[in-house]
Amino acid sequence: MKTLDDLLASGVRGRRVLVRADLNVPLDGDRITDDGRVRASLPTLRALAAAGARVVVTAHLGRPKGAPDPAFSLAPVARRLGELLGGEVAFATDVVGDSARSTVAGLADGGVAVLENVRFDPRETSKDDTERGAFAEELAALVGADGAFVSDGFGVVHRKQASVYDVAQRLPHYAGGLVLAEVEVLRRLTENPARPYVVVLGGAKVSDKLGVIANLLTKVDRLVVGGGMAYTFLKAQGHEVGSSLLQADQLDQVRAFLAEARERGVELVLPVDVLATKEFAADADHEVVRSDAIPADRMGLDIGPESRKLFAAKVADAATVFWNGPMGVFEFEAFSGGTRAVAQALVDSDAFTVVGGGDSAAAVRQLGLPENGFSHISTGGGASLEFLEGKQLPGVAVLEG
């Protein structure tokens, strides 16, 4: 796999370089509420600009339905990128149309331009190879015969999409710093992790993590389960979970996981108490109840104080820890304590600690924890999980070709 350093060594001054970044940030209107992904893109963009490249950034935001939608415009992201880079960032109001062509043509050496949301073109996500290929040809044409492609959006490398996969087949292609770092970290987690190896999983649904649980049970020493998905595990053990989030259609699968964990000697740790409430609300009255005795009219919205101590203890002696998914509804202050406790346990640990992107990374920032307190914070939740499932990631495989 060729890297950004290889591209820089070959000389980029005056050349146009297409960079697939991950700028899929949360917005409140046109205000970015968490610019973590924008900041993560800076090292690659700065390195290219400093070397005199004419940098053309393509990215997506949200899930528009293959057509322009002002709610998903990258204009606020381009403005924020300019602030962080300390200079003007040009913005094209379309993806491969007149505005894109003129904006790219107007770039000087060291200049940076952002194209409008790549998913405004339905061909980006098409299942038809010919349609995606035609779109990729137009993207490649923007940077010309002397152009190059840098894949730096790890959060999308599990997608076989035009700006991720097909463009790499049409231009000299290189792995950006983000993609390279992510792949190295995930290989460390899957190929020869230092032990004890502990994985902490949370989030809402077991069904989102079936593949990763199945694969991790063959690799980990200890699996700690919290968040909404824990209630399906508790129900599978025969406990009452009240009105807590439950995926009844996954109970047989979870029972199989429990049995496999026993057979393999994997310690599977579940909450022993939870914060239970009658309604899903930030200011809901709540009480601490045992996790095997949740009242029928109550739902668990966070792990309880004893579970927080237990989970922290199960992380404390680890040599490697991977964490993906909050322990409760961390967006509500009253129910953020479990997620904070797990995150703090990772910060306090001497282990190699990896935060698996998505809501976990957002929680770290929202809760004000030091990002440098973790060995690595992933920028791609879904991509990280698919890698840990053992799946081939198209956007990585194409870079190795």
**If DSSP codes are grouped into helix, strand and coil, which group holds residue 56?**
strand
Q: Does the annotation place 22 within a ligand binding site?
A: yes
Catalytic residue among 37, 160, 314, 340: 37
Q: Is 372 annotated as a binding residue?
A: no
> Per the annotation, does 357 bind a ligand?
yes
Exactly one of 101, 188, 205, 290 is catalytic; which is it? Answer: 205
Q: Which residues pair with 114 in a beta bridge?
A: 57, 91
CA 216/CA 210 separation, integer angstroms: 10
Is residue 195 annotated as involved in ligand binding? no
Neighbour tally for 156: CB within 10 Å:
26
Q: Is residue 37 part of an annotated ligand binding site? A: yes
Residue 308 counted as an annotated binding residue:
no
Q: Is the dihedral of CA 269, 274, 279, 281 positive or negative?
A: negative
Q: Are 156 and 383 in contact (CB under 8 A)?
A: yes
Asked if residue 358 belongs to a known ligand binding site, the reply is yes
Nearest in space to 18 (alpha carbons), one of 39, 52, 45 = 45
Annotated catalytic residue within 66, 110, 382, 390: 382
CA distances from 124 to 63, 93, 166, 170, 229 (A): 12, 17, 9, 15, 32
Can 205 be counted among the known catalytic residues?
yes
Phi, psi at residue 71, to the nearest 5°?
A: -65, -20
Q: Which of 111, 203, 358, 380 does the annotation list as catalytic?
A: 358
Residue type, 316: A
- Residues 39/126, Cβ–Cβ less than 8 Å: no
Is 106 tagged catalytic?
no
Q: Exposed/middle/buried for 233, CB within 10 Å: 0-12, 13-18, 19+?
A: buried
Q: Which residues pair with 199 in a beta bridge?
A: 223, 322
Q: Is 170 annotated as a binding residue?
A: no
Helices (H), 12-168: 36-50, 75-85, 98-105, 129-143
Verify whether residue 382 is a known catalytic residue. yes
Asked whether residue 159 is marked as a ligand-binding residue, the answer is yes
Q: Is residue 223 part of an annotated ligand binding site?
A: no
Q: How far is CA 29 from CA 70, 75, 82, 162, 330, in A?
A: 10, 12, 19, 28, 22
Is 66 annotated among the ligand-binding residues? no
Tell me whether residue 60 is annotated as binding. Answer: yes
Run of H or E residues at 396:
helix 394-400
Please state the φ and ψ torsions of residue 55, each to the nearest 5 degrees: -95, 125
Binding site for (2R)-3-phosphoglycerate: what residues are annotated? 37, 119, 159
Residues identified as active-site: 37, 205, 358, 382
Binding site for ATP: what residues are annotated? 209, 300, 331, 357-360
Binding site for substrate: what residues are annotated? 22-24, 37, 60-63, 119, 159
Binding site: what residues are annotated? 22-24, 37, 60-63, 119, 159, 209, 300, 331, 357-360
